[in-house]
A and B are shown apart, each in its own frame.
Chain A
């Protein structure tokens, strides 16, 4: 037989093992390439689109998440490839010994199996690259993503091909080199077969149940492969947890912060042009455009005291807040700080146009996520700045001040507010009034009692304002709020979609591991069946092995994933009991799905006649 005929025939003869290795490799390479292309075209497409729409604080959360998930996806891919090739070649230790025992020189046997490894690796990587491009093309042309497309970066194809080919080769060569070093008798011996330990090193996890006993000892005997699959699945579960839990928590947290900043079930009372402008500024977050050259201080927009008196008389209004909104230029002031008796300058003399909102600190209805503190009543020299303006214009905002219309204001807090994408400063209402020489606010935020019939109260407000001949309109802010929350939700759901491919590849690897378990325990299962074990006993032993592997990796992956999500990726996350239930539901569904699919080879095997298993 020629040197290439043997490996090719051998691969064709072992149809199930070869196709499983090939499919796993293909899916792994394809998923990694797809995710890289997808992240590049859509993920970072969204982030770059979002850079101009999201506030910088939200954008930072999203992009750091995407980067973290991208790194994990690549790591999962690398571990999968190494695991598949290790598994494929570790299964051949016995065959290696048998061929050597038959008189074939070591180098020739090594060459046979190396050729097999190279064939499978080359085909897997090539098919994976093709499938990755195809999947990306198909997904990217879905209507949801068309708005964010960029041209694909074709350099990812050789990068993934070469990196994974090299990974696969290194990890596939390891068991081959080990087998080459063994004498034929040692290679054939069950003591070497899949890393079988010495007899007296067996440790039982359970002494009562036979099924658990056989399953746990088999796992321990196959410790080399078992450790690898547990490590690999743990990384997959970290990826899953970060993507699923992270996305859900981040979505919940960002949505809650937006809701609290905008105000849930809040009404806006203003002149119709001013109201529309304010809503556009709020919705800028999700892509709306406000009117340029808008005169915020137009006297027609002023809300007179008469309006406030009217509102005071309507029952069902829990609270209301007047604000003065305008635009202006702010100038950064340079400051100094001291470190080790050294004076360090902070900041520069930058300038920016910003939205300026005058508020009464003791009456604000918004609850911002804030770094530092909010304005104090009676202090007219303080300001709170939005996260975007803090990031683009100030070096250490909480230690800095700015000038606005010849007035110096010290920054006491940085807040997350979607209005004008975070290019906003909040200043004392009375101070802003006197700076602009106006006497009235130009918007009014109204909070209704939760128990009242909203539409009837809204109608009542409209009627009273009309009766008083006031040119004011009532706007529902919920629509703008829903748009913002929906936009955030769409972004996070893109991230949740990313680990799907890794999950498929992981499931295939778990199936591969169970095929290895079946292959190794084939004779024992036949004996158990011959001695009176029912097919379901064999299925149960394999199911327990799958469960032990899955639960161990699940525990490690979930713990590290949750730690990563909560400690690294999110500051002060909003986690409710519903959030925990939602995350648990998704992760348990993934675990259960993987478990069920992994049983496929076991169920197929358990149905086989005893003699077929023995042969």
Chain B
């Protein structure tokens, strides 16, 4: 069935993803059909190994499906080349990893700035935006520190600031509170609340009940198949 994507920021149809491990083929995603509207906050839950990270990777263009269609912002990501996907991610998708993944050779401010440098924004605009984002996540006093000098919670907040740098329409977060204690987890929840309020489309893979409560909709992945929880 042809997909009508314009109503949705993300639309997947019959999405399959399999990995080859030695002689064996492991199917991670099976016939996943997921539509996400603009401004929607969707939580993806499911046990470890159910395919949450793989689904986020495919939506962001980091990975490709084995079969099926994936349309993000009306672009069929399965057929695009690496350079297109890189530019697409840089401008349209903000990705937050569970393990923060900041660039250790860059300071906090530089980590937030580099996605903007790639699309050649003017220097003054970058500086203004970095200051704004660090204030949003409450880390302006850490601007010149390196990631190794920050706590886990602080690093995750920098990762959020970095994901928002180019003001993307879509924010993807892979278990953003998974490595954090309750207090730091709370701060991340506040950031996500703020994103929801600003009308961003957010898809979060999580086990955190607080984040699930925040979501407009929670979908569950079980053994690679999608099962709605509270649509």
Contact = CB atoms under 8 A, between A and B. Distances in A.
A531 interface: yes
Most interface-central of B86, B102, B117 (chain A CB within 10 A): B86
Majority-rule SS of A interface residues: helix
Interface in B55-74: 57, 60, 62-63
Interface string A600-612: 0000000001110
A196 to B, nearest CB: 8
A528 interface: yes
Given A191-B148, A531-B115, A532-B115, A524 B82 contact: no
A532 B63 contact: no
Given A528-B103, A529-B86, A532-B89, A213 B110 contact: yes
A527 B89 contact: no
Given A199-B148, A611-B57, A531 B89 contact: yes
A191 B147 CA distance: 12
Contact of A524 (B97, B105, B118, B149): B105
B114 interface: yes
B95 interface: yes
B105 A202 contact: yes
B82 A531 contact: no
A535 interface: yes
Contacts of A533: 86, 90, 118
Contact of A530 (B60, B102, B117): B60
Given A210-B117, A213-B106, A218-B105, A532 B82 contact: no
Interface in B97-120: 97, 101-106, 110, 114-115, 117-118
A530 B146 contact: no
B82 A535 contact: yes
A217 B107 CA distance: 11
A214 B118 contact: no
5 contacts: A202-B105, A531-B115, A532-B89, A533-B86, A610-B62
B120 to A, nearest CB: 11
Nearest to B168: A532
B90 A531 contact: yes
Given A210-B117, A213-B110, A611-B63, A534 B95 contact: no
Interface string B136-155: 00000000011011000000
A534 B62 contact: no
Given A199-B148, A202-B146, A213-B110, A532 B118 contact: yes
Contacts of A191: 148
Most interface-central of A190, A210, A530, A532 (chain B CB within 10 A): A532
B162 interface: yes
Interface string B38-62: 0000000000000000000100101
B83 interface: yes
A537 B115 CA distance: 12
B62 A523 contact: no
A527 B86 CA distance: 11
Contacts of A523: 101
A170 to B, nearest CB: 32
B91 interface: yes
- Contact-residue size bin, chain B (C-beta under 8 Å from the other chain): 20 to 34
Nearest to B64: A609
Nearest to B149: A199
A462 B14 CA distance: 100
Contact of A190 (B63, B101, B104, B162): B104
Contacts of B145: 199
A100 interface: no
Nearest to B119: A532
Contacts of A532: 86-91, 115, 118
Contacts of B149: 199-200
Interface of A: 190-191, 199-200, 202, 210, 213-214, 217-218, 221, 523-524, 526-535, 537, 609-611
Given A210-B117, A213-B106, 6 more contacts: A199-B146, A200-B149, A210-B118, A528-B114, A531-B162, A535-B82
Contacts of B57: 611
Given A191-B148, A210-B114, A610-B62, A530 B89 contact: yes
A532 B120 CA distance: 13
Contacts of A529: 62, 86
A145 B141 CA distance: 72
Nearest to A609: B63
A531 B114 contact: yes
A417 to B, nearest CB: 63
Nearest to A527: B101
Contacts of B60: 530
A221 to B, nearest CB: 7
B82 A534 contact: yes
Contacts of A200: 146, 149
Nearest to B53: A611
B103 A524 contact: yes
Given A202-B146, A210-B114, A611-B57, A534 B83 contact: yes
Contacts of A610: 62-63
A533 B115 CA distance: 8
Contact of B102 (A214, A526, A527): A527
Nearest to B118: A532
Nearest to A534: B86
A297 B86 CA distance: 90
Nearest to A191: B148
Contacts of A221: 105
A221 B97 CA distance: 24
The list of the 4 closest CB pairs from A to B, nearest first, reads A532-B90, A199-B146, A217-B105, A527-B101
Contacts of B97: 527, 530
Contact of B95 (A199, A217, A218, A531): A531
Nearest to B54: A611
Contacts of A213: 105-106, 110
A197 B130 CA distance: 26
Given A191-B148, A199-B145, A533-B86, A611 B62 contact: yes
A214 B60 CA distance: 24
A210 B110 CA distance: 9
Most interface-central of A191, A526, A527 (chain B CB within 10 A): A527
Nearest to B92: A532
A217 B104 CA distance: 10
Contacts of B62: 529-530, 610-611
Contacts of A214: 103, 105-106
A191 B90 CA distance: 30
A98 B89 CA distance: 35
Contacts of B82: 534-535
Nearest to A214: B105
B71 to A, nearest CB: 19
Nearest to A526: B101
A311 B144 CA distance: 88
Contacts of B63: 609-611
Given A610-B62, A611-B57, A530 B95 contact: yes
Contacts of B104: 190, 524
A520 to B, nearest CB: 10
A457 B142 CA distance: 89
A544 to B, nearest CB: 12
A523 to B, nearest CB: 7
A461 to B, nearest CB: 75
Given A530-B62, A531-B90, A190 B110 contact: no
Nearest to A541: B105
